[in-house]
Amino acid sequence: MTDPLVTLDNATVRFDGVIAVDHINLKVSRGDIITIIGPNGAGKTTLIKAVLGIQPLSEGAIHRQAGLTIGYVPQHLHLQPTLPLTVKRFMALSGVPAAACREALEQTGVGHLLAASVHHLSGGERQRLLLARALARKPDLLVLDEPAQGVDINGQAALYDLIRQLRDRLHCGVIMISHDLHLVMAATDKVLCLNQHVCCSGHPEDISRDPAFIETFGQSVAESLAVYHHRHNHQHNLHGDVVAAGDSDSEHRECSGHGHH
Ligand SMILES: Nc1ncnc2c1ncn2[C@@H]1O[C@H](COP(=O)(O)OP(=O)(O)OP(=O)(O)O)[C@@H](O)[C@H]1O
């Protein structure tokens, strides 16, 4: 068992005495995808700023693995609209060698846009560019603040798929904030429902039944999430064990069809 990448121990942040993040305990390890959900003002951004080390704690402690490299995708990209800026130049500004920048752009599916102006990118392309910039640092941990913002619904699903693939390929940890509850439920391993304190946390299928979740998001949201289908890249045999996708053993059944109740 390797050490967690980041450990929060009773992490608490107050602004002028008002609590924004209340005694949070959290461990993020390699291979984890942890999604933070919660209403507006719940302290989500403050929490990930604490993980990044740009928001001091009022109380509690945070421990980062020695030599940890974090790749961060911010909520907004602030660009000077009058400044011409190509994707290539934007990536070069991060100080990472050109070859690593190109590789990262290929990994996020926007390698062909090297000469394009960042001002003319679509919402999805822009988010993939930001993801590439974060990846170029070869991060142990990816921190994403609403990565699918400004992306249409098909693009959102593709982006969450990409994040999962990158996690598998790079074996990094991922912690992200999302408001896209349906996609979160289908694409994440662990959900942390925040409302200053942790209301509830766990596997997505369990979270939507948790009374604290229902109290925070309302019965109708919980009901709409309680039955959902998620896509698997693997199959189960009759004993429920995971077996390789595409294995034609007749004992196997496709998992993609079952909903969770
Ligand atoms: N630098 C700051 N100074 C004072 N108050 C702050 C500061 N940053 C955040 N807050 C307050 O802390 C609370 C939590 O804010 P935060 O941005 O973490 O919430 P959030 O869950 O990310 O919200 P949203 O979903 O709206 O982005 C809010 O009430 C916000 O006004």
Task: Single out the residue of 143, 134, 137 nearest to residue 53, CA to CA.
Answer: 143
> Which one of 13, 16, 37, 45 would you pick to mutate in the ligand 1 pocket, going by the greatest count of ligand atoms within 8 A of its CB?
45
Residue 72's beta-bridge partner residues? Answer: 143
Centroid of ligand 1 to alpha carbon of 133 (angstroms): 25
Distance (Å, whole) CA 186 – CA 206: 12
> Which one of 44, 47, 179 would you pick to mutate in the ligand 1 pocket, going by the greatest count of ligand atoms within 8 A of its CB?
44
The angle that helices 123-135 and 98-107 make with each other, rounded to 10 degrees, is 130
Q: Among the atoms of ligand 1, which is closest to the Cα of residue 42? A: 21
Q: Give one DSSP letter per residue of 121-176, joined into a string.
A: --HHHHHHHHHHHHHTT--SEEEEESTTTT--HHHHHHHHHHHHHHHHHH--EEEE
Summarised one tens digit per residue, pLDDT across range 42-100 is 999 999 999 999 999 999 999 999 999 999 998 877 888 888 899 999 999 989 999 99
Of the chain, the end-to-end C-alpha distance in Å amounts to 32
Centroid of ligand 1 to alpha carbon of 13 (angstroms): 10
For each of the domains in the chain, give its residue range(s) and CATH number, in order of start: 6-69+139-230 (3.40.50.300), 78-136 (no CATH)
Centroid of ligand 1 to alpha carbon of 40 (angstroms): 8
Centroid of ligand 1 to alpha carbon of 43 (angstroms): 6
Centroid of ligand 1 to alpha carbon of 19 (angstroms): 10
ipTM of the complex: 0.97
Centroid of ligand 1 to alpha carbon of 256 (angstroms): 38
Summarised one tens digit per residue, pLDDT across range 190-230 is 899 999 999 888 888 788 788 888 888 787 777 766 654 44
Over the chain, what is the mean pLDDT?
A: 84
User: Residue 15 — very low, low, confident or very high, per pLDDT cuts 50/70/90?
Assistant: very high
pTM of the model: 0.82
Distances in Å between the alpha carbon of 7 and those of 92, 122, 164, 214, 259?
A: 32, 36, 22, 28, 33
Tokens of 113: 């846009």
Distance (Å, whole) CA 36 – CA 200: 11
Ligand 1 pocket (Cβ < 6 Å) reads 15, 20, 38, 40-46
Are 187 and 159 in contact by the 8 Å Cβ rule? The answer is no
Distance (Å, whole) CA 69 – CA 140: 5
> Which one of 12, 14, 15 would you pick to mutate in the ligand 1 pocket, going by the greatest count of ligand atoms within 8 A of its CB?
15
